[in-house]
């Protein structure tokens, strides 16, 4: 491949990878520190109402709380807990599912409230955000039920005895903090715990970031040579199936590729072409179509970068499958 074709891709990908790597570093570093300094009990108190019924350890509660501020950092914490043996694959999938609502919460304050509701108007805006919140909450509840049914002590390991890969991690950080406490030297304890957390974070980043960068470059190159508009061909059958007006098709297409543009497209037609319920259903269908696009553009590089292809594919399948199922239920209720 000619360098003239590759350079623009690198300029597009590298800032994105750097930003994600920074958030992952925060998540992994924080995961080690909250365990090392015994902060799990304080941070995870409220989330224990979710983690306890789901048979998950308290440490997962710190990832849930973190996800409300940064989804990437929350995923970084879960990746650290999986790497250190606190969670096995099944428990990690349950934790990822429970995280869904808390990942949604941050978007209320960064996008839905300041951007989308003013475009759509109060009635349609609150209906749409409420529908998305209900969908996210239903997925989180599904994760809690799945944990209660599918998980036991065999799927998790208390952090105090969790084995690591020998390169430093949650278990190492906790052990280091205990040793320092026995030495009754607070300054050394603090420094040693921070150093262990930093080493573990650097080890994880050295493994994750190159994989993340490679997958993003490959996907971006494919996007430049693939016509993703073909996904929009799914819009017409879906809108016809649920009985939406023909004008829903261009809205779905616009919404699938850019949420703000889709909202601006449908807003003037509410009350004339669309009822408020039909408008919300149309936008939700646009969300279903967008999963095909966003999975290819963002989810695959991000999830593969954090978990690797095998487990990353499982995370994508669970996330996408549950979202499509509950969006379909919401659409059915709106058009009934």
Evaluate the CA torsion angle 286, 292, 293, 297 in order and state its sign: positive
* Span 25-64, pLDDT tens digits: 776 677 667 656 655 455 556 677 889 999 998 888 888 8
Residue 117 in tokens: 């509701």
* Span 102-145, pLDDT tens digits: 888 878 877 888 788 888 888 999 999 999 999 999 999 999 99
What is the mean predicted confidence (pLDDT) over 292-320? 85
Residue 177 has pLDDT above 60, yes or no: no
CA–CA separation, 115 vs 126, rounded Å? 12
CA–CA separation, 138 vs 44, rounded Å? 21
* Span 62-75, pLDDT tens digits: 888 788 777 888 88
CA–CA separation, 264 vs 266, rounded Å? 6
Letter string b/e over residues 197-230, b meaning 16 or more CB atoms within 10 A of that residue's CB: bbbbbebbbeebbebbbebbbebbeeeeeeeeee
Whether residue 282 contacts residue 252, with contact meaning beta carbons closer than 8 Å, is answered with: yes
What is the mean predicted confidence (pLDDT) over 308-334? 92
Residue with tokens 């809108």: 239
* Span 209-237, pLDDT tens digits: 776 677 667 666 665 665 555 555 666 77
- Please give the full DSSP string across 131-200, using - where no structure is assigned: HHHHHHHHHHHHHHHHHHHH--GGGB--GGG----SS--HHHHHHHHHHHHHTT-HHHHHHHHHHHHHHH
CA–CA separation, 168 vs 273, rounded Å? 60
Whether residue 317 contacts residue 224, with contact meaning beta carbons closer than 8 Å, is answered with: no
Environment class of residue 133 by beta-carbon count within 10 Å: exposed (0-12), middle (13-18) or buried (19+)?
middle
First and final C-alpha spacing in the chain: 53
A 10 A CB-CB count for 81 gives 29
Residue 182 in tokens: 């026995």
Whether this prediction's pTM lies above 0.85 is answered by: no
């Amino acid at each position: 491949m000619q360098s003239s074709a590759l350079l623009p891709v690198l300029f597009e990908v590298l800032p994105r990878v750097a930003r994600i790597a920074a958030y992952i570093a925060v998540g992994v570093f924080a995961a080690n520190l909250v365990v090392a300094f015994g902060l799990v009990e304080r941070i995870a108190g409220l989330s224990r109402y979710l983690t306890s019924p789901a048979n998950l350890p308290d440490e997962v509660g710190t990832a849930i709380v973190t996800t409300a501020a940064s989804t990437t950092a929350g995923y970084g914490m879960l990746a650290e807990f999986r790497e250190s043996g606190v969670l096995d694959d099944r428990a990690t999938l349950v934790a990822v599912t429970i995280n869904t609502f808390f990942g949604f919460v941050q978007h209320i304050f960064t996008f839905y409230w300041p951007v989308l509701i003013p475009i759509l108007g109060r009635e349609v805006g609150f209906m749409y955000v409420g529908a998305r919140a209900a969908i996210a909450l239903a997925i989180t509840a599904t994760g809690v039920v799945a944990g209660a049914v599918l998980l036991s002590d065999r799927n998790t390991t208390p952090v105090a005895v969790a084995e690591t890969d020998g390169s430093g991690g949650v278990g190492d950080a906790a052990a280091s903090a205990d040793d320092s406490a026995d030495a009754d030297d607070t300054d050394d304890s603090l420094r040693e715990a921070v150093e262990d957390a930093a080493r573990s974070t650097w080890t994880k980043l050295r493994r994750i970031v190159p994989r993340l960068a490679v997958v993003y470059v490959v996907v971006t190159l494919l996007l430049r040579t693939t016509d993703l508009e073909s996904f929009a061909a799914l819009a017409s059958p879906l809108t016809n199936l649920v009985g939406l007006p023909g004008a829903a098709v261009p809205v779905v297409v616009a919404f699938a590729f850019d949420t703000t543009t889709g909202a601006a497209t449908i807003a003037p037609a509410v009350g004339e072409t669309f009822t408020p319920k039909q408008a919300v259903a149309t936008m939700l269908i646009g969300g279903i179509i967008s999963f095909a696009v966003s999975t290819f553009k963002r989810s695959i590089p991000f999830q593969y970068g954090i978990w690797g292809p095998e487990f990353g594919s499982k995370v994508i399948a669970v996330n996408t499958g549950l979202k499509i199922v509950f969006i379909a239920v919401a659409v059915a209720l709106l058009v009934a």
